[in-house]
């Protein structure tokens, strides 16, 4: 298998290959970064959405999409992997929240211009080929005066080389970083959730995730060139208490 995926179809094949195991492990609580850090931080920043129409881009199996619906949003959601959408739709059938799911590509959204009051993308934009086009599509489908909120790996602290440094007791005390200015265009990273490994979960395969690393200035300039006005930039970190309770997120300190 090639060690990179540079086209939308190649990226889609990788995410479809990840989707079954990803769904099983995340629903078993092994995505600790998402559940204990990324998603709570995202929702704290989210404006009131009750009664608003929204599009969730890169919805996966629908965990965060459901949270948006529970906040009162009228949500449609897309993902490039059919297996993710199947799992999301099955959950919706059991516990309806009025969410509509569609298999679609973030760089070619099947919606009219200005159709939504807002759009979201939880921790997926850095995994999309041609994310400049994906940003332009998000801009297109959100009405004038609406908003787009997305989260990504922090470009400065998740560059191509990243290694947490731990003391003799296993406690994180620093992070070793390198190659920040090296752009990645679909390089495949293979990994799984550390919590799943430690707890002996049944892991079918390692995830194969295409990465498209850009610098922080690269991302900001893409937003500006697309036409977005940046209203807020957040850099969430765990508290000391959270890091002690969930060691997996201690490196965010």
CA gyration radius, the chain? 18
Contact present, 54 and 68 (Cβ < 8 Å): yes
Residue-level pLDDT at 1? 38
- Give CA–CA dist 218/183, Å, rounded: 10
Helix (H) or strand (E) holding 221: helix 216-226
% of the chain surpassing 70 pLDDT:
99
Cβ atoms within 10 Å of 146's Cβ, excluding its own = 17
Torsion-angle region of residue 233: left (phi > 0), alpha (psi -120 to 50) or beta?
Answer: beta
At 2 the pLDDT is 44
Residue 139 pLDDT > 90, yes or no? yes
Q: How far apart are CA 215 and CA 207, in angstroms?
A: 24
Confidence of residue 179 (pLDDT cuts 50, 70, 90): very high
H or E stretch including 45?
helix 39-45
Closest CA to 211 of 163, 152, 252, 150: 152
Rounded to the nearest integer, the mean pLDDT of the chain is 95
| Chain segment 1-59, per-residue pLDDT in tens | 347 788 999 999 999 999 999 999 999 999 999 999 999 999 999 999 999 999 999 99
Tell whether the model's pLDDT for residue 183 goes beyond 70. yes
244 or 66, greater pLDDT? 66
The string of pLDDT tens digits covering residues 116-133 is: 999 999 999 999 999 999
CB 77 within 8 A of CB 101: yes
> In 3D, which of 107, 57, 118 has the Cα closest to residue 84?
57
Q: Where are the beta strands (DSSP E) in the chain?
A: 53-57, 74-79, 100-103, 116-122, 142-151, 161-166, 172-178, 187-191, 207-211
């Amino acid at each position: 298998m090639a060690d990179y995926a540079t086209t939308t179809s190649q990226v889609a094949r990788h995410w479809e290959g990840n989707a079954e195991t990803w769904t099983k492990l995340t629903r078993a609580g092994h995505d600790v970064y998402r559940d204990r850090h990324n998603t709570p931080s995202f929702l704290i920043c989210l404006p009131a959405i009750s009664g608003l129409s929204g599009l969730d881009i890169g919805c996966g199996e629908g965990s965060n999409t459901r949270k948006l619906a529970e906040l009162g949003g009228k949500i449609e959601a897309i993902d490039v992997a059919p297996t993710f959408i199947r799992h999301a739709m099955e959950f919706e059938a059991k516990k309806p929240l009025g969410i509509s799911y569609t298999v679609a590509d973030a760089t070619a959204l099947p919606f009219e211009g200005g159709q939504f009051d807002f759009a979201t993308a939880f921790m997926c934009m850095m995994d999309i080929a041609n994310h400049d086009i994906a940003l332009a599509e998000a801009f297109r489908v959100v009405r004038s005066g609406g908003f787009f909120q997305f989260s990504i790996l922090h470009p400065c602290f998740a560059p191509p080389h990243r290694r947490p440094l731990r003391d003799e007791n296993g406690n994180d005390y620093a992070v070793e970083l390198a190659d920040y200015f090296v752009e990645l265009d679909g390089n495949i990273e293979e990994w799984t959730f550390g919590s799943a490994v430690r707890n002996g979960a049944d892991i079918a395969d390692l995830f194969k995730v295409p990465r498209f690393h850009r610098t922080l200035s690269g991302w900001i300039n893409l937003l500006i060139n697309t036409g977005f006005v940046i209203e807020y930039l957040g850099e969430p970190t765990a508290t000391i208490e959270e890091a002690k309770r969930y060691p997996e997120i201690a490196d965010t300190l």
